[in-house]
A and B are shown apart, each in its own frame.
Chain A
């Protein structure tokens, strides 16, 4: 089996390399027989064709079909209008998922901005700045699955009189009169516990973006402010912060999209139990457990609609940028 996998990788790498070079070189040469005007018109499609084709086949076309399916019954045969939407929106499971997704969308972006910006700013002022940056940076490469294992382990719960094997509970029970908390089962804490675990994997991204933005602020500007008698806090509040605002928007939108799409960590830590469902886990269950393509399509379309304003914003930003250029 393992030898098979190794062979597969070697063959795949060889085939992909040969195909890429062959396709472009031979395609280019074949098009050379066209007249100059036609050649100029067609040759760009030789290059962009494969990319446009795979994006169309895996994203655009299925996306349109999903919206289409959302107006049909679970088999995809009878037209039902908005029934799937009204049914899923009146389902308490979806309502809880909507509430939780809302909680994710509020907390994950704001906490990422808070932690990312604070560490980016403060790391330059302490001697062990490299350590804290590395600490935030490392979890970026950790999958949500591994992060889910790590944090389920951190949140482990044992009944009050037993020895606490979970790190979080053993720390809080050091305080007098505090009982251990079943973080992941308790409905008052579990959504925050999941969002916290996601923050742990994402804050490093925010920090990197903020650190880069900070580096682009000229030192002379801050020097001048300090010479004019501004305190560190004033220099931050009236100079650095306004200059960081565009970066705040970038981090906010990125994290909002991540919060809306959240799936892995919920799937691993609770699988949506104890009132922790989010839109993606509801959709996954409709697709695989209920095998209801209509409702799964409706939930996916709701998710898509939630992302749409950010798409529109990105598009406007991009048009603005390319016009300036």
Chain B
């Protein structure tokens, strides 16, 4: 009985609802147009790159990549073989790893210690240093190139990984300290006070308590630093002095663009190779990446 009454009551509402959804559907048309349009503009370039990197050279030269859907099976791995072998991209891939992994670890180590000091200790100039870090967040690195390059030439560091590690470390440290400082400052103070009461030294507290509870923040920072350093062109271009045997992927690909003009089958497969590792890291750990992005949103 009760249900029947409810049915009767609900009926007119339901009819109203149907009407309004139909109207919403019509009004939604421009919305779908915008959203689908944006989706297409953002995905088609990636699809074009992917498809072209597997097409044989004569096909890429004569027809657009979408024509390959009409001739299924007309794909090849030859481009990748050429790029990895003849153009030395395999070495560049390892050069990128040899730059990025130490830089990421160094940045996390140096800035987590500094952020701990700034967030959990009281001392003179603490505030001044914090304000300095915030100022340095968006410094254009271009302002440092002239003197650093002179020092590099003087010390014969140009073209060495060690020099590039140090420069990347310095460039990355303000953002890294800022990000971790915000996280450490939000940790409950009792955590440190209890440790101190038990007679733990600051370094013990740092390794045994602060770092383990900060794993999410450290992961955010590490991924940020990894993708960022992997994708850097300017710093590597300036401080590696154009030596091919130490060039990372970005420098090698931009070199290919200059030398190969319209060899699109080569350029697209080289670009694909340069994207794979950061893309995998990024997609696998996107939650951490987004968290880092939100925490450091004022950084350029």
Contact partner of A300 among B48, B64, B142, B238, CB < 8 A?
B142
> Would A138 and B173 be within 8 Å (CB), given that A66-B146, A132-B35 are in contact?
no
- Interface check B56, CB cutoff 8 A: no
Does B207 contact A24, Cβ atoms closer than 8 Å?
A: yes
Complex: A85 Cα to B141 Cα, angstroms: 20
Select from chain A the residue with minimum beta-carbon distance to B101: A9
Does A54 contact B173, Cβ atoms closer than 8 Å?
A: yes
Complex: A163 Cα to B249 Cα, angstroms: 32
Residues of B within 8 A of A21 (CB): 207
Complex: A41 Cα to B165 Cα, angstroms: 31
> Would A258 and B90 be within 8 Å (CB), given that A9-B97, A55-B174, A69-B146 are in contact?
no
Q: How far does the Cβ of B295 sit from chain A's closest Cβ, in whole Å?
A: 10
> Would A16 and B102 be within 8 Å (CB), given that A54-B110, A59-B139, A146-B274 are in contact?
yes
Residues of B within 8 A of A264 (CB): 233-234, 250, 254
Interface size class of chain A, counting residues whose CB lies under 8 Å from the partner chain:
35 or more
Bitwise interface map of B from 91 to 116 toward A, beta carbon under 8 Å scored 1, else 0: 10011011001100110011101111
Q: How many residues on chain B are close to A (CB under 8 Å)?
A: 122
Select from chain A the residue with minimum beta-carbon distance to B282: A141
Select from chain B the residue with minimum beta-carbon distance to A50: B110
Does B146 contact A65, Cβ atoms closer than 8 Å?
A: yes
Residues of B within 8 A of A154 (CB): 45, 48
Residues of A within 8 A of B133 (CB): 55
Does A51 contact B113, Cβ atoms closer than 8 Å?
A: yes
- Interface check A62, CB cutoff 8 A: yes
- Interface check B5, CB cutoff 8 A: no
Does A2 contact B91, Cβ atoms closer than 8 Å?
A: yes
Contact partner of B233 among A145, A163, A250, A296, CB < 8 A?
A145
Residues of A within 8 A of B298 (CB): 250, 253-254, 314, 317
Q: How far does the Cβ of A7 sit from chain B's closest Cβ, in whole Å?
A: 9
Residues of B within 8 A of A153 (CB): 45, 48-49, 52, 264, 267-268
Contact partner of A268 among B257, B279, B290, CB < 8 A?
B257
- Interface check A115, CB cutoff 8 A: yes
Contact partner of A43 among B28, B98, B146, B202, CB < 8 A?
B202
Complex: A202 Cα to B62 Cα, angstroms: 32
> Would A58 and B137 be within 8 Å (CB), given that A6-B94, A24-B113 are in contact?
no
Does A138 contact B52, Cβ atoms closer than 8 Å?
A: no
- Interface check A180, CB cutoff 8 A: no
From A90-98, A186-194, A237-245, A301-309, the one touching the partner chain is A301-309
Does B231 contact A143, Cβ atoms closer than 8 Å?
A: yes
Complex: A125 Cα to B202 Cα, angstroms: 51
Residues of B within 8 A of A145 (CB): 231, 233, 249-250, 253-254, 271, 274
- Interface check B70, CB cutoff 8 A: no
Does B48 contact A167, Cβ atoms closer than 8 Å?
A: yes
Bitwise interface map of B from 152 to 175 toward A, beta carbon under 8 Å scored 1, else 0: 000000000100011101110110
Complex: A261 Cα to B34 Cα, angstroms: 30
- Interface check B209, CB cutoff 8 A: no
Select from chain B the residue with minimum beta-carbon distance to A283: B142
Contact partner of A58 among B118, B144, B254, B289, CB < 8 A?
B144
From B9-17, B36-44, B73-81, B214-222, the one touching the partner chain is B36-44
Complex: A307 Cα to B61 Cα, angstroms: 43
Most chain A CB inside 10 Å of its own CB: which residue of B39, B206, B274: B39
Complex: A256 Cα to B138 Cα, angstroms: 11
> Would A141 and B140 be within 8 Å (CB), given that A43-B121, A54-B110, A146-B275 are in contact?
no
B279-300 contacts to A (CB < 8 Å): 279, 281-283, 286, 289-290, 293-294, 297-300
- Interface check B57, CB cutoff 8 A: no
Does A315 contact B135, Cβ atoms closer than 8 Å?
A: yes
Q: How far does the Cβ of A16 sit from chain B's closest Cβ, in whole Å?
A: 5
Complex: A283 Cα to B46 Cα, angstroms: 32
- Interface check B26, CB cutoff 8 A: no
Complex: A235 Cα to B270 Cα, angstroms: 48
> Would A51 and B110 be within 8 Å (CB), given that A1-B245, A318-B131 are in contact?
yes
Residues of A within 8 A of B101 (CB): 9, 12-13
Q: How far does the Cβ of A163 sit from chain B's closest Cβ, in whole Å?
A: 6
Residues of B within 8 A of A156 (CB): 264
Most chain A CB inside 10 Å of its own CB: which residue of B65, B97, B300: B300
Select from chain B the residue with minimum beta-carbon distance to A146: B271
Complex: A4 Cα to B286 Cα, angstroms: 31
Does B271 contact A135, Cβ atoms closer than 8 Å?
A: no
Contact partner of B257 among A61, A142, A148, A212, CB < 8 A?
A148
Select from chain B the residue with minimum beta-carbon distance to A259: B300
Does B116 contact A135, Cβ atoms closer than 8 Å?
A: no
- Interface check A81, CB cutoff 8 A: no
Q: How far does the Cβ of A75 sit from chain B's closest Cβ, in whole Å?
A: 11
> Would A57 and B300 be within 8 Å (CB), given that A24-B206, A307-B139, A314-B134 are in contact?
no
Select from chain A the residue with minimum beta-carbon distance to B115: A51
Q: Can you list 26 A-B contacts (CB < 8 A)?
A: A6-B94, A24-B206, A48-B118, A51-B110, A58-B171, A63-B144, A65-B147, A122-B31, A126-B28, A126-B35, A131-B39, A137-B286, A140-B282, A140-B289, A143-B230, A149-B49, A150-B271, A254-B299, A257-B138, A263-B233, A264-B254, A283-B142, A284-B234, A284-B238, A304-B140, A307-B140
